[in-house]
Amino acid sequence: MPPTPLDLTARLLLTPQDPEGPARAARLKELGLGDEPIPKLDAYAHELARITGAPVAAVNVIDEQRQYFAGLYDATMDPAKGPVDPNGGLGRVMPRELGYCVHVVARRTALVLEDVSDFARFAVNAVVDEVGVATYLGAPLIDPLSGMALGTVCAVDQRPRPWGQEGLRTVKAMAAEVQQEILRRSR
């Protein structure tokens, strides 16, 4: 049998392949995540924003087609306009291919981008121009029962910032807390 050729194209994809997408979507449905805001998850997002000093933080779940911010704190959004601000802010729903959370889910490990313009793969993402994201800090949400990456806990800012090891520890600790909340929801 001839050797299998090495496929380097997967490394070049801007949006990573997602073979767990269908199973993740089914698990999110079982957990009741991805269709409406969850006040407890909004509180986690607000706390992450407070600790990191970021204007935007989220608890994000990812299905096959989109990302849904089940928990969101966006200091740029007018609370009187509800969860989707037509004049700016992230809103609750974003296409799957936008942003950096899909990379965290695919890699199943935290991602720290202190300045997205330093990374060609991430600098070309539409959230840079459309939302003004200049920095990203995210950790995966691993479902304690299935072991599947369901989404992320993340923080973003419109200016580069040095998250450092402290930021990484903070986002991982917050992800661990949210994972426990997901475990409580599954009972």
99 vs 3, 29, 47, 78, CA distance in Å?
A: 36, 22, 21, 22
> Is 82 a domain residue?
yes
Q: Supply the pTM of this predicted model.
A: 0.85
Element (H, E) at 121: helix 120-123
Which pLDDT tens digit goes with each residue over 11-51? 444 677 788 889 999 999 999 999 999 999 999 999 999 99
> Is 91 a domain residue?
yes
> Is 7 a domain residue?
no
Number of independent structural domains in the chain: 1
Which pLDDT tens digit goes with each residue over 142-166? 998 899 999 999 999 999 999 999 9
- CATH number of the domain within which 91 lies: 3.30.450.40
> Is 107 a domain residue?
yes
Domain hosting 162: range is 17-185
On whether the CB atoms of residues 107 and 149 are closer than 8 A, the answer is no
Element (H, E) at 114: none
CA distance 19 to 116: 26
> Is 1 a domain residue?
no
Torsion, Cα of 174, 179, 180, 185 (10° steps): 130
